[in-house]
Structure 1
Amino acid sequence: MSRLFPAPLLSVALFALWLVLNLSVSPGNLLLGAALGILAPLLMAPLRPQHARVRRPLTIARLIGRVGIDVIHSNLEVAKGVLRAGSHQPRSTFVHIPLDLRDAHGLAALAMITTVVPGTIWSELALDRSVLLLHVFDLDDEPAFIEHFKTTYERPLMEIFE
């Protein structure tokens, strides 16, 4: 069964998305949606060399909630920094963050998190995946930021993926 559906949740999501985007449950759309849901994961399976082993659903829920709170908080902080840029220049800088996370899926999730949280931009990952170079829009205390980043994002991802 796993050979036909290498990613069953993705298959269901693609099928549902096809129907929602077409606003129709006609036989043709049901057939095309099913074909898309079955064929896309099958054709893309060779591009995914390893399967993710996701653990700790409660940690996932807490991380999603924390990222949501941080997105709102960071949006307000960046807006405040932009509005007061004339009187107080933001202290933009690059920060080297040592990483303990090595799982490719965890690093991909970390990249997405840093992308959606305003004020941070993933800049570079060392070839050995030991250090992340991150651009921060306005930074007061670098050691505190690094500790916050590792505690808030990296450690939960390590619990989930490693």
Structure 2
Amino acid sequence: MKRLLPAPLLSLACALLWLLLNLSLSPGNLLLAALLGVLAPLLMTSLRPLPVRIRKPGTILRLLGRVGIDVLASNLQVAWGVLNLGRRPPRSAFVKVPLELRDANGLAALSAITTVVPGTVWSELALDRSILLLHVFDLDDEARFITHFKTTYERPLMEIFE
């Protein structure tokens, strides 16, 4: 049964969504809903994330707290930078951060963190996952930024996922 329906809740959701979008319970729509419910999860099996084994839950809590603090501080820094555009323009730059993190789930978490923290934008990840290109709104010292990024975000994610 698991082979035919690898994700039963997803199958049910797909079928119900099909019926809801068509607003019809005709035999043809019921058949299409059943086909969609069975085939969609089967065809998308390779897209499903790998199972995650999380280590060190305390590290997760510390990382979440640190991200929260950084979000608040970055919001204030970006707001101050925007308000002072006339006096001192921001020193925007692209920064290449060498990565040691290779786990796909860890990289996804890192991209989410980067997206949430104002002033940084995840621009590109090298095909071999060794270098991350970030755009930084206002950069004082590139080496200090890279060190901060790696110790604050990458290292805890490596402890959690690898």
Interval of TM-score (by shorter of Structure 1 and Structure 2)? 0.7 to 0.9
Match of 2:146 in 1: 146
Give the drift of 1:49: 5.0
Supply the distance in 2 between the matched residues of 1:86 and 1:161 (Cα, whole angstroms): 44
Amino acid at match of 1:144: R
Deviations 1:52-82 (A, max 9, x none): 1111100000000000000000000000000
Deviations 1:12-33 (A, max 9, x none): xxxxxxxxxxxxxxxxxxxxxx
Cα gap change, 1:63/1:49 in structure 2, threshold over 3 Å: closer, same or farther? closer
TM-score computed with the length of structure 1 as normaliser: 0.73
For these two proteins, the number of residue pairs brought into alignment is 132
Does residue 129 (structure 1) correspond to residue 121 (structure 2)? The answer is: no
1:13-162 correspondence to structure 2 within 5 Å: 43=41, 46-162=46-162
- Of structures 1 and 2, the larger Rg is shown by 2
Deviations 1:32-59 (A, max 9, x none): xxxxxxx8xx936542252111111000
TM-score computed with the length of structure 2 as normaliser: 0.73
Structure 2 residue matching 1:53: 3-state secondary structure: coil
Gaps of 5+ in 1: 12-38
Amino acid at match of 1:154: E
RMSD: 2.5
Cα gap change, 1:156/1:92 in structure 2, threshold over 3 Å: closer, same or farther? same
Supply the distance in 1 between the matched residues of 2:45 and 2:117 (Cα, whole angstroms): 30
Supply the distance in 2 between the matched residues of 1:68 and 1:61 (Cα, whole angstroms): 11
Amino acid at match of 2:135: H
Give the drift of 1:107: 0.3
Structure 2 residue matching 1:68: 3-state secondary structure: helix
Amino acid at match of 1:160: I
Supply the distance in 1 between the matched residues of 2:125 and 2:51 (Cα, whole angstroms): 22
Amino acid at match of 2:50: Q
